[in-house]
Structure formats: C-alpha cells, structure tokens
Amino acid sequence: MKDKGKRFAACFFRRQTLVCGCLALLINLVTESLSRGSVINGVLHAVQSPAVFIYNVLLVFVTLTIASLFQHRLFVISVIIIGWLTLGITNGVLLTFRATPFSAGDFFMMKNAITMIGVYLSVIQIILIIAAFTAAGIVLWLLFRKLPKEQVHLVPALVRLGSSAFAVVIFTMVFIRTGVLSTQFANLTDAYIDYGFNYCFACSAFDRGISEPDEYSPRTVEEIRDAILSEDEETPALKPNIIFLQLESFFDINMVTNLTCSENPIPYYEKLMSEYSSGLLTVPTIGAGTANTEFEILTGMSRSFFGAGEYPYKTILQEATCETLAYNLTAEGYTCQAMHDNDGTFYDRNTVFSQMGFDRFISMEYMDDLTYNDLGWAKDEVLEGEIMKALNSTDNEDFLYVISVQGHGKYPDEPVGDVPITVTGVDEELVAAYEYYIKQISEMDTFIKELTEQLQSYEEPVMLVMYGDHLPSLSLTDEDLTGSNTYQTEYVIWTNYPSEVIHKDMYSYQLSSNVLERLGMNNGMLTKFHNTCSDNEDYLDELEILEYDVLYGDKLLYNGTNPYVATNLQMGNKEISMTACERRLTEDENNEEQYAIVAEGEGFNEWSSICINGKCVETEFISDTQIQAFGEKPKDGDIISVGQAGTDEFILSETNAITWDVAKMDQEPANLVDIAELIFRKIVIGDLF
C-alpha cells in the first residue's frame, strides 16, 4: 500500500500539470452537477456551454497550482480540493432550502444562520454535518502526517501559477467583452446557470459595491441633477400616517398553474387588489434575501448594480448613511419607526436602521403576547396591536416600516400541525410544503383584514402599502405561474380615506417614490429622479451613476456633502426600567424554594434578561414588573441590569444599572467562606476602613 502511495506521489510530482487539470475538470463537473441538481445536467452544461465550462475548470486549476509552492503540496492540494467540494455541496444544500444559490455574501449572514439552523436542519442532519467536518479534519491531519514532502522548484511553480493566472485574466477580459461572461447579475440564479458556479462565486467574493461607471463625471451628475430640479416643488395636500407592510414570502398562490386549493387562502388580499391601487412588483430576489427587497424599497436604489449576491445591509450600510424614505419623511415632520416580529439583530437591522434614518426599531424582543406557528416563527397577528401602539405613541404623523415573518421557510417535507386547506395538482413530495405555506398566508390574510378594520376606524388618515418581499422557496419556475414571473409579487395601496385607484406594475426601487408622488411629496433627490426621469432612455444608466455617486463617489448630487446623519436609534417604543434588585428565597417553576436574583421594574417581557457585568443569565419571566434568575450569586461590585436579548443573546438595550452590594441585596445568610472572601476583597481593594 505504501509503495502504491509513493508511486502515486511520484507520478503526481512528475505530471502535476496534467493531474491538476484532470482534478480541476472533475471538481468543476461535481460543483456544476450539485448546482444543477444532477450529474446529467452537469454534463449537459459542459456540452452546451463548453467555453464557460472550460473557463470554470481553469479557475479551479489556478487554485490547484498554488500547491506547487509548498513542500507539503499533496496536503495543500487536498485542502484545496476539499474547499471546492465544500463550497459546491453547500450550494447544493442551500438550493434545497431556497431558490438563490450560495454566494460570498452568505458568509456575512453566518451569525444569523447559526441561530436559525434548527429551522432548516434536523438534529440528525446537524450531527452528520459535524461528523463530516470532524472526519475531514482527521483526514487532513493524517494526510499532513503521512504524505511525503517534496522539494519546491520555485521557478517552475511560479511559471505554472503565473501562466494559468494570466490565462484566466485574458479569457475573462475576452469573454466579458464578447458576452460569454457578464459582470452584471440582474438575476443571480440565472447567472449561476449561465456562467457557472465557480465564476459566479468568485465574483461574489471579489466584486463588492458598485464599480465606477464609465460615464461618471461632475458634468454628467450635474446634468442629471438639473433635470431632477427642473420640476417645481409640491406642497402635499394630505399628510397621512404611512405604513409599509412587507409580507414575508407572500404572493397570490392562486397564480400557480395547475394548483387547486380546497378554498381560496387569501380572499381578502385579492379583494383589496381589485378595489385599491395595486399591481405587480418586481423584486431583486426569490426564496430568500428579504433585506435586499427592503433595501430597494427604502432607498429607491437597484441592488443589481452591486456585487453578485451582495447584501448592502452587510457592506456599505455598515459604515455609510444614504437617502431613504425615512430621512425624506423625517423632513416632512414624520416620526419614523421600523418594526419586525423577529430577532432585532437579523441582517444587522439594529445598527443599519440608524444609518437609514429611523427613530425607533421595535423588534420581537420588545413585543408582548407573541404566538408562534408550527415551525416556530412568530405569527404576524402580533403586529396589529404593535402597529396601533406605535401610531398612538406620538402626536405627529408616523411612518411605520413593518416587516413580517410568519411565511418564512424552510417549508416542511412532512405534514406539520393541522391542515385547514388542502391542495392538489403539485408533485406529491411538495404537498406538505404547499399546505403549510398556504396555512401561513391564509392566517396572514386574516391579519391583514383585522388590521385594515382597525385602521378604518382610526381617527387620523392612514395609507397602508402592502407587498410580498419575494416568492417562497417552492421550486417555482416562470412556467408555473400565470400572469407573472418568479421575481414578481403583488402590492396594494389601501387607505382609510378616499383615494384614486391606479393599477400599475413597477420595480421595488420605484415603489416609495411612487407613493410619495401620490401624496404630493417629492423631497429627496432620488425620489425626484424616479418621478422625473423614469421614462428617459438612459434611466437605468443614470440610476447607476447616482447610486455610485451617493454611496461611493463624491456626493456630487448633494453638492459634495452627505446631508444624512445617523440617528440615535431607540429600541422599542416603551420605557423598560429596573427599580429594585435583590437575591432572596423564592419559588422556581417547580414550586421549589431556591435563592434567586429578583429584579423589579416596568416594561419587562419574555425577552427580558438579568445581566451581570453585561452578560445575560438564564432568566424566568414572572410579569411585566418582575423577573428572576436562579443559580447566580453576584459578588460585591458586580454590575446588574436588565437587558432585552433575542435568541442570539445579543443585548439590544439595557436598563439603568445597579452596583451589587452583598450586605444590602443578598438575603441568603453568608457562610464562613463567603465572609472570608468578602474580608479579603475589602482588604485587597483597600476600602475596609
């Protein structure tokens, strides 16, 4: 066996270029087969698009030639092979959960993905993944120990690496110029199919932000600016409260060809679509990527100009502010509040919403009476009460940006819970997923009905803009839909006052400016641009120039200065305070007496946690005025507070803090060890006397 290994190593070292070429060919075939769902489809891709296939083989080959620079080259090449296969397998697995492929942007979502892993994977699957990574680690360790080392021939190694990298550069330039490849991915899923997994993933890793357009110059921006400002300023005839309700994975399921439901799951939404302004909304994503639809709605910018698979929430908006609907409505005297019945840290909304001009953010950690669906997502019915509380919390007009979560995937392979609406006409393996999804949107339809009934009697004028953020991950294709495609949902604009009915299809980055135009509001340069220049032949080219300018360029649109300053974002719309804290004998959930830290105050809920020195401890919710934590014994000088923290235990906000004083706050009799420790600490810190 050892002799065979030595012979293979010797063959590899002599014919490394040939071996690397064969390995690259095999790796690319595997990744493409995983991306396309079968080996047959992977082979068909190689036959139908040979130039693209060979180009992607060359990308893998370049990475394999790096091994020539190391003595442990067989070990290094094994690491590279495992790396490529891991990326390909990850892509294949993710495509079973959602419609969008794996991109480098998903690494930014790793923190959020960990908190949701139980929704997407079973315990057995999690164990298998851990076992696979463990096995891979062991194999790599053994390879490092057992595989032979070889002298590095630096010049041939650099020639091999340099020539292959140079070939990639040349082919990339030629293929982009001739249209074989593209750097603009308007549709990420189609791009992976057209240009291959390796190229698209590489683009997502290295292509971030918006590249400077060729036409970008002070003169070009000035010309666009003059066209924007040519329109007269308007005075709004009516300033209603404005609510944008972004409905998770919501669309008219009745548009699915051949699908038959035992009853219509969304009769009320369809009624609103026919009676109020409505239309199809083209969004930038399918099956996932809620934050990118959100980004387009709030900013009026198209995400298609950014890098492949990029989430601006995770990149540029971490450090920069930009014009948004919130900033524009703040200028009109509105209080701007965001709301989401999910973790406040998801997509970093707890920080990004400050960059986007919101005054408050009410996430699930600040909501009362949450109920959950069969997969553990919060039901949207809680939003009705929270919306009314938010409207009543201010004296002026309100802008509420509300993000729902109930319709979120992954959808089950087996029936879960009761099935009030059954389906026929879909593949048997998808029936459970469809019936679960239909149950969720049916309940969401009921929530919408109850919300509009509440708002109808509200004493102030209200405009409610509702739309789905993207289609669900139900293996839908354009051929499965009647009258739309997989990147289109529906919007409807409901009001509790008489308003003109206009049916119009649009892109999600046009919706906000369209709404403001209906109200006679046009402050904000991007708002004016959409309402003034959308019929221009160069409309999209000009939009790309403006997006680059305001986010990465010289801010020429705003005379060289960014006028938007990040807000001091308030979490929640009610005060949460701690008035007292002590350690005393109390009863746990089993009615057994134990010593616990007991905090008293106002505004507590199930997400309130007692924090010791900035770290949450396991806490039991008693009432909105009392919580307690067992098993903790603070020391003199420890800082105690109450924090609001979600499933990731990140503290979104804290109450006033109290410095722990054992003598005053601990009712448990001190033992000799405690007394000795206390005396020692007092002596050490020098305040015994």
Residue-wise pLDDT for 298-354, tens only, equals 999 999 999 888 899 999 999 999 999 999 999 999 999 999 999 999 999 999 999
Instruction: Record the tokens describing residue 247, joined without a space.
Output: 């409905």
As a whole number, mean pLDDT of residues 56-83 equals 87
pLDDT of residue 370: 94
Q: What is the mean pLDDT of the chain?
A: 88
Residue appearing with tokens 């903790």: 632
Please provide the size of the chain in residues: 689
pLDDT of residue 688: 45
Query: Contact, 243 vs 491, CB < 8 A?
Result: no
Q: What are phi and psi of 206, to 5 degrees?
A: -105, -20
pLDDT of residue 207: 80
Question: Is the pLDDT confidence value at 372 over 60?
Answer: yes
As a whole number, mean pLDDT of residues 537-552 equals 96
Question: Is the pLDDT confidence value at 689 over 50?
Answer: no
Query: Contact, 636 vs 665, CB < 8 A?
Result: no
Those residues whose C-beta lies under 8 Å from the C-beta of residue 267, and which sit 6 or more positions away, are 445
Question: Is the pLDDT confidence value at 609 over 50?
Answer: yes
d(CA 420, CA 442): 9
Query: Contact, 570 vs 644, CB < 8 A?
Result: no
Q: Give me the residues paired with residue 481 across strands.
A: 256
DSSP character for 685?
Answer: H
Q: Give me the residues paired with residue 503 across strands.
A: 278
Burial level of 80, CB count in 10 A (0-12/13-18/19+)? buried
pLDDT of residue 125: 64
Q: Name the helix (H) or strand (E) containing 329.
A: helix 325-330
- What angle (nearest 5°) sits at the alpha carbon of residue 234, between those of residues 229 and 237? 160
Nearest to 258 by CA among 427, 415, 412: 427
Instruction: Say whether 257 sits in a helix, a strand or coil.
Output: coil
Indicate the residue type of 138: I
pLDDT of residue 219: 95
What is the pLDDT confidence band of residue 466, given thresholds at 50, 70 and 90?
Answer: very high
d(CA 152, CA 150): 6
d(CA 407, CA 442): 10
Instruction: Locate all alpha helices (DSSP H) within 539-671, ordered by sequence.
Output: 539-551, 662-665
Nearest to 207 by CA among 309, 109, 279: 309
**What global pTM score does this model have?**
0.84
Strands 593-602 and 577-587: antiparallel
Instruction: Record the tokens describing residue 620, joined without a space.
Output: 């039991």
What is the pLDDT confidence band of residue 78, given thresholds at 50, 70 and 90?
Answer: confident
190-223 pLDDT, tens digit per residue, is 788 889 999 988 888 888 899 999 999 999 999 9
Window from 5-14, 417-426, 606-615 with minimum mean pLDDT: 5-14
Q: How many CB atoms lie within 10 A of CB 170?
A: 10
Question: Is the pLDDT confidence value at 260 over 90?
Answer: yes
pLDDT of residue 18: 84
2-37 pLDDT, tens digit per residue, is 555 555 555 554 577 788 889 999 999 999 999 988
449-459 pLDDT, tens digit per residue, is 999 999 999 99
d(CA 537, CA 461): 37
DSSP character for 107?
Answer: G
Instruction: Say whether 490 sits in a helix, a strand or coil.
Output: strand
Provide the percentage of residues in the chain whose pLDDT is more than 90. 61
Strands 639-645 and 608-612: antiparallel
Domains and CATH numbers, the chain: 2-206 (no CATH), 236-540 (3.40.720.10), 575-685 (2.60.40)
Cis status of the peptide bond prior to 410, with omega within 30 of 0: yes
32-66 pLDDT, tens digit per residue, is 999 988 999 999 999 999 999 999 999 999 999 88
Q: Name the helix (H) or strand (E) containing 133.
A: helix 123-146
Provide the percentage of residues in the chain whose pLDDT is more than 70. 90
d(CA 407, CA 75): 46
As a whole number, mean pLDDT of residues 595-609 equals 93
574-601 pLDDT, tens digit per residue, is 889 999 999 988 877 777 778 889 999 9
pLDDT of residue 545: 97
As a whole number, mean pLDDT of residues 493-502 equals 95
pLDDT of residue 312: 94
pLDDT of residue 1: 47
User: What is the signed CA dihedral for 135, 28, 183, 181, rounded to 10 degrees?
Assistant: 180
d(CA 42, CA 28): 9
113-164 pLDDT, tens digit per residue, is 666 566 566 677 678 777 877 877 787 787 777 776 677 777 777 888 888 8
Nearest to 185 by CA among 92, 55, 88, 285: 285
Nearest to 233 by CA among 34, 524, 508: 524
Query: Contact, 554 vs 522, CB < 8 A?
Result: no
